[in-house]
């Protein structure tokens, strides 16, 4: 209740901020930014319906006429020869048109509008641009000629409906947004430990039981029957799926289903425990790879999935298998011996190879998360790189197609604003500028031509309502759309933000909820945006304990570089596990000092706590130290909100060496994260 109230309040606030203070010039606010816009004089009036005509195959004309009837662009079909007030759509192979069938030339003139392309998709995207211009300018669109075509062929958005189920009307609404942003791949995460969401005739128990939980929370995972009075969840019938796939197709979107295997499969194993190494539910997350019944099950499911989804790619998950049951499972061990597999990674790779052969034999291709590289990648597989970019780089360099979705740029379940005031999200911060600045295929990437594209991912462990899902998606999906479509040379965050503010107004008017971009400056910890000047900047630091190798910030100089960390603990924060931090700064000469403070982070969900106490000591020779004083922390470790706090001492002293000793909060497995020791 509270969360919804907050979101609608935020929505209302920003609507006012954007429309009261937003740009008013007649600059286009199209997202993604078109390749080229040439302004002409005058404007085209849309006050009365445009006379629609086609120079295109009949099926293209039929499809686009039907589509236009669903949009606010009023058209009539009774005067195809009209020379004024027309909308002319042409498919042609003219050399003047962009080479891609998704490219188009849109010409808006006082006498009418024309769109030309080599294919239906290009006409569709020209219409999307026109619709955005109509939303911005109303019934008087400034005359212009836009030539446009996409950078990547794969422009995706992902939605996890296993953790929380939103239903087909929500999905269709997001498909409409995708189309407007020229996104063309909907990655539908339909199965996971928290729920199975797709009807499979051969295995009705999957949706009788594994689609329902007696609680709203996504973990732990008890399941209940569909008719349980507390049943929470849902699933898509085959008719629902056909309806969504056909709807997506009418919007030039391919739906790629994801059926998780071999990990994240607790819901299947709850229903069919014989497919687990333990032979019973709730022990392991992963399918037993030694058991042929596992492959029989998966292949039967995939057979029905392929009947519903005509996509070239079928996503088989592959991420985060725990592999815990496999080393001791007699069936898995026997399989490893028979197949000459040396470890559990190769056992996983065996499973992926086998499923790939199954899909390839039916004319489909396998797509999986980057863990499918472990133990050897299947020969024709495509990789979705989420654990950073290295998996994508490795796969591309070895000749495989890749889709880039690195978590630190494309995971929209992370915070986009101040974590201490935003609704709960996955720890870590992915503000809009960060997503926008992501480059999926940098010049130095070997095999960069194999990058099919980029995708926004929305996991929904913490996202229980449709309103909150949209809040997390938009406007960050706008940024992914622009990265995916527009040439990198056109990137300009400030211009993008201007357009995003206008788009936010337009999509709110259509009933979408969005993050309050107008109220957020850069979506980042403000203190991290400006350097801190102090006496210790550039001074060497020695450490009595070692930081954790995975959180090295920028190395030993990080605590005196004048740079504070962001709301992402992986950025500029030096992380220490299960230990105190004792760091000594050498100021180079004895100097008067009046303040020493060390800045720390607390983030309960990542098990990062503030230190119990920070003590400051000084010395002139680096050997004999005098304790000046210190500060106790009074914030409980359990406080759930992200906090950055500095602890230290103020007074009068002289010193060359300044030692900061931060005492661990004492929670085993817990972290201290420090970004700077500030001396004044
Ligand atoms: C993933 O986020 N586990 C693919």
- 3-state secondary structure string, 439-458? CCCCCCCCCHHHEEEEEEEE
192 is catalytic: yes
Calculate Rg over the CA atoms of the chain.
Answer: 28
CA–centroid distance, residue 388 to ligand 1 (Å): 11
From 262, 315, 369, 409, the mutation candidate for ligand 1 (largest count of ligand atoms within 8 A of CB) is 369
Tokens, residue 29: 């606010």
Percent over 70 (pLDDT), the chain: 96
Q: What is the pLDDT of residues 434-493, one digit of tens each?
A: 999 999 999 999 999 999 999 999 999 999 999 999 999 999 999 999 999 999 999 999
CA–centroid distance, residue 525 to ligand 1 (Å): 26
Question: Rounded mean pLDDT of the chain?
Answer: 94
Q: Is 29 helix (H, G, I), strand (E, B) or coil?
A: coil
Q: Which atom of ligand 1 is nearest to the CA of 384?
A: 4
Reference 404, options 423, 390, 425, 421; nearest CA is 390
State whether the beta carbon of 595 lies less than 6 angstroms from ligand 1: no
Residue 4 confidence (pLDDT) above 60:
no
Q: Which pLDDT belongs to residue 26?
A: 60
DSSP secondary structure string for all residues of 157-189: EEEE-SSS---HHHHHHHHHHHHHTT--EEEEE
CA–centroid distance, residue 284 to ligand 1 (Å): 18
Q: Which pLDDT belongs to residue 406?
A: 97
DSSP state, 241? H
Q: Which residue in 101, 320, 345, 582 is the catalytic one?
A: 320
**Whole-number Cα distances in Å, 102 to 205, 420, 678:** 42, 42, 54
pLDDT band at 396 (very low <50, low <70, confident <90, very high): very high
282 is catalytic: no
Reference 55, options 105, 116, 11; nearest CA is 116
CA–centroid distance, residue 417 to ligand 1 (Å): 22
State whether the beta carbon of 79 lies less than 6 angstroms from ligand 1: no
**What does the alpha-carbon distance between residue 104 and residue 125 come to, in Å, rounded to a whole number?**
7
pLDDT band at 215 (very low <50, low <70, confident <90, very high): confident
From 193, 218, 319, the mutation candidate for ligand 1 (largest count of ligand atoms within 8 A of CB) is 319
DSSP state, 533? P
**What does the alpha-carbon distance between residue 302 and residue 308 come to, in Å, rounded to a whole number?**
10
Q: What's the angle, vertex CA 300, arms to CA 295 and CA 302, rounded to 5?
A: 95
Residue closest via CA to ligand 1's atom 3 equals 319
Q: Is 369 helix (H, G, I), strand (E, B) or coil?
A: strand
Q: Which pLDDT belongs to residue 21?
A: 31
Q: Which residue in 252, 264, 661, 665 is the catalytic one?
A: 264
Q: Count the Cβ atoms, other than its own, within 10 Å of residue 480.
A: 30
**Whole-number Cα distances in Å, 206 to 193, 201, 277, 491:** 12, 9, 19, 46
Q: Is 142 helix (H, G, I), strand (E, B) or coil?
A: strand
**What does the alpha-carbon distance between residue 335 and residue 341 come to, in Å, rounded to a whole number?**
8
State whether the beta carbon of 346 lies less than 6 angstroms from ligand 1: no
What crossing angle do the helices spanning 466-473 and 168-180 adopt, rounded to 10°? 20
Q: Which pLDDT belongs to residue 253?
A: 99
- Are 466 and 166 in contact, with CB atoms under 8 Å apart? yes
Residue closest via CA to ligand 1's atom 1 equals 319
State whether the beta carbon of 369 lies less than 6 angstroms from ligand 1: yes
Q: Which atom of ligand 1 is nearest to the CA of 317?
A: 4
Q: What's the angle, vertex CA 99, arms to CA 97 and CA 100, rounded to 5?
A: 110
Q: What is the pLDDT of residues 338-356, one digit of tens each?
A: 999 999 999 999 999 999 9
State whether the beta carbon of 478 lies less than 6 angstroms from ligand 1: no
> Tokens 């970004």 appear where?
675
Q: Which atom of ligand 1 is nearest to the CA of 386?
A: 4
- Are 369 and 262 in contact, with CB atoms under 8 Å apart? no
State whether the beta carbon of 388 lies less than 6 angstroms from ligand 1: no
Q: Which pLDDT belongs to residue 525?
A: 87
Mean pLDDT of 390-414: 97
**What does the alpha-carbon distance between residue 408 and residue 394 come to, in Å, rounded to a whole number?**
18
**What does the alpha-carbon distance between residue 252 and residue 175 come to, in Å, rounded to a whole number?**
10
**What does the alpha-carbon distance between residue 280 and residue 322 come to, in Å, rounded to a whole number?**
17
Tokens, residue 642: 């992200």
> Tokens 């689609």 appear where?
211
Q: What is the pLDDT of residues 558-614, one digit of tens each?
A: 999 999 998 888 889 999 999 999 999 999 999 999 999 999 999 888 899 999 999
State whether the beta carbon of 411 lies less than 6 angstroms from ligand 1: no
Q: Which atom of ligand 1 is nearest to the CA of 459?
A: 2
Q: Which atom of ligand 1 is nearest to the CA of 411?
A: 2
Q: What is the pLDDT of residues 552-566, one digit of tens each?
A: 999 999 999 999 998
CA–centroid distance, residue 40 to ligand 1 (Å): 47
β-bridge mates for residue 453, sequence order = 154, 403
With b meaning 16 or more CB within 10 Å and e meaning fewer, what string describes 196-213?
Answer: bbbbbeebeebbbbbbbb
Beta strands in 60-198 (DSSP E): 75-76, 86-91, 104-109, 112-117, 140-148, 154-160, 185-189, 191-192, 195-196
Q: Which pLDDT belongs to residue 522?
A: 67
252 is catalytic: no
CA–centroid distance, residue 319 to ligand 1 (Å): 6
State whether the beta carbon of 320 lies less than 6 angstroms from ligand 1: yes
Q: Which residue in 102, 192, 482, 675 is the catalytic one?
A: 192
CA–centroid distance, residue 161 to ligand 1 (Å): 14
Is residue 42 left, alpha or beta, with left meaning phi > 0 and alpha meaning psi from -120 to 50? left
Q: What is the pLDDT of residues 273-329, one digit of tens each?
A: 999 999 999 999 999 999 999 999 999 999 999 999 999 999 999 999 999 999 999
State whether the beta carbon of 111 lies less than 6 angstroms from ligand 1: no
What crossing angle do the helices spanning 466-473 and 476-485 adopt, rounded to 10°? 50
Residue closest via CA to ligand 1's atom 2 equals 386
CA–centroid distance, residue 350 to ligand 1 (Å): 21
Handedness of CA 201, 204, 206, 207 (dihedral sign): positive
Report cis status (omega within 30 of 0) of the bond before 475. Answer: yes
CA–centroid distance, residue 219 to ligand 1 (Å): 16
Q: Which pLDDT belongs to residue 221?
A: 74
**What does the alpha-carbon distance between residue 364 and residue 424 come to, in Å, rounded to a whole number?**
39
Reference 174, options 161, 162, 191, 192; nearest CA is 161
Q: Which atom of ligand 1 is nearest to the CA of 407?
A: 2
Strands 154-160 and 50-55: what pairing? unpaired
**What does the alpha-carbon distance between residue 639 and residue 621 come to, in Å, rounded to a whole number?**
40
CA–centroid distance, residue 386 to ligand 1 (Å): 7
From 320, 384, 410, the mutation candidate for ligand 1 (largest count of ligand atoms within 8 A of CB) is 320
């Amino acid at each position: 209740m509270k969360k919804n109230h907050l979101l609608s309040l935020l929505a209302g606030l920003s609507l006012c901020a954007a429309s009261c203070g937003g740009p008013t010039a007649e600059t286009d606010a199209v997202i993604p930014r078109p390749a080229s816009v040439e302004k002409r004089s005058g404007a085209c009036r849309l006050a009365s319906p445009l006379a629609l005509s086609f120079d295109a195959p009949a099926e293209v004309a039929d499809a686009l006429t039907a589509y236009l009837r669903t949009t606010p662009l009023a058209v009539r079909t009774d005067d195809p020869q009209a020379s004024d007030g027309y909308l002319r759509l042409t498919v042609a192979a003219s050399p003047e048109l962009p080479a891609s069938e998704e490219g188009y030339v849109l010409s808006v003139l006082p006498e009418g509008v024309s769109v030309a392309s080599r294919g239906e998709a290009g006409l569709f995207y020209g219409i999307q641009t026109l619709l955005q211009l109509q939303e911005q300018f109303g019934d008087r669109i400034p005359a212009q000629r836009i030539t446009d075509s996409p950078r990547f062929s794969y422009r995706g958005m992902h939605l996890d409906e296993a953790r929380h189920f939103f239903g087909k009307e929500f999905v269709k609404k997001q498909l409409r947004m995708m189309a407007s942003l020229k996104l063309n791949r909907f990655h539908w995460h339909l199965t996971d430990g928290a729920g199975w969401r797709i009807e499979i005739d051969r295995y009705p128990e999957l949706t009788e039981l594994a689609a329902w939980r007696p609680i709203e929370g996504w973990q732990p995972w008890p399941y209940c029957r569909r008719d349980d009075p507390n049943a929470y969840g849902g699933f898509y019938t085959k008719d629902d799926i056909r309806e969504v796939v056909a709807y997506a197709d009418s919007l030039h979107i391919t739906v790629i289903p994801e059926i998780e295997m071999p990990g994240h499969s607790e819901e299947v194993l709850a229903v069919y425990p014989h497919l687990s190494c333990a032979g019973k539910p709730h022990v392991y997350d992963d399918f037993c790879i030694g058991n042929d019944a596992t492959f029989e099950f998966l292949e039967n499911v995939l057979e029905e999935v392929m009947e519903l989804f005509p996509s070239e790619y079928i996503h088989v998950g592959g991420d985060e298998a725990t592999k815990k049951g496999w080393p001791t499972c007699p069936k898995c061990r026997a399989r490893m011996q028979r197949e000459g597999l040396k470890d559990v990674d190769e056992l996983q790779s065996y499973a992926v190879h086998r499923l790939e052969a199954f899909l390839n034999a039916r004319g489909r291709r396998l797509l999986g998360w980057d863990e499918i590289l472990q133990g050897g990648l299947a020969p024709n597989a495509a990789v979705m790189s989420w654990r950073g970019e290295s998996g994508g780089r490795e796969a591309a360099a070895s000749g495989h197609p890749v889709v880039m979705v690195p978590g630190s740029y494309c995971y929209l379940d992370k915070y986009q604003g101040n974590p201490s005031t935003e609704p709960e999200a996955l720890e870590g911060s992915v503000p809009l500028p960060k997503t926008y600045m992501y480059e999926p295929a940098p010049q130095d990437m070997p095999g960069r031509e194999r990058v099919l594209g980029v995708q926004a991912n929305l996991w929904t462990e913490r996202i229980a309502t449709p309103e909150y899902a949209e809040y997390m998606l938009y406007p960050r999906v706008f940024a992914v759309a622009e990265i995916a479509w527009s040439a990198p040379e056109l990137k300009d965050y400030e211009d993008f933000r201007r357009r995003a503010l206008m788009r936010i107004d337009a999509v709110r008017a259509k009933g979408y909820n969005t993050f309050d971009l107008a109220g957020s400056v850069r979506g980042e910890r403000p203190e991290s945006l400006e350097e801190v000047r102090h006496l210790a900047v550039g001074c060497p630091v020695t450490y009595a304990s070692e930081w954790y190798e995975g959180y090295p910030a920028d190395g030993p100089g990080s605590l005196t570089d004048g740079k504070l960390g962001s709301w992402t603990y992986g950025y500029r924060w030096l992380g220490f596990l299960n230990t105190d931090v004792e760091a000594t700064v050498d100021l180079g000469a004895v100097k008067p000092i009046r303040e020493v403070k060390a800045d720390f982070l607390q983030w309960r969900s990542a098990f990062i706590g503030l230190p119990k106490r920070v003590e400051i000591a000084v010395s002139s020779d680096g050997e004999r130290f005098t304790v000046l004083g210190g500060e106790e922390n009074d914030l409980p470790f359990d406080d759930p909100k992200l906090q950055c706090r500095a602890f230290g001492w103020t007074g009068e002293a002289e010193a060359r060496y300044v030692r900061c000793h931060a005492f661990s909060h004492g929670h085993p497995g817990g972290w201290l994260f420090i970004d700077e020791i500030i001396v004044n």
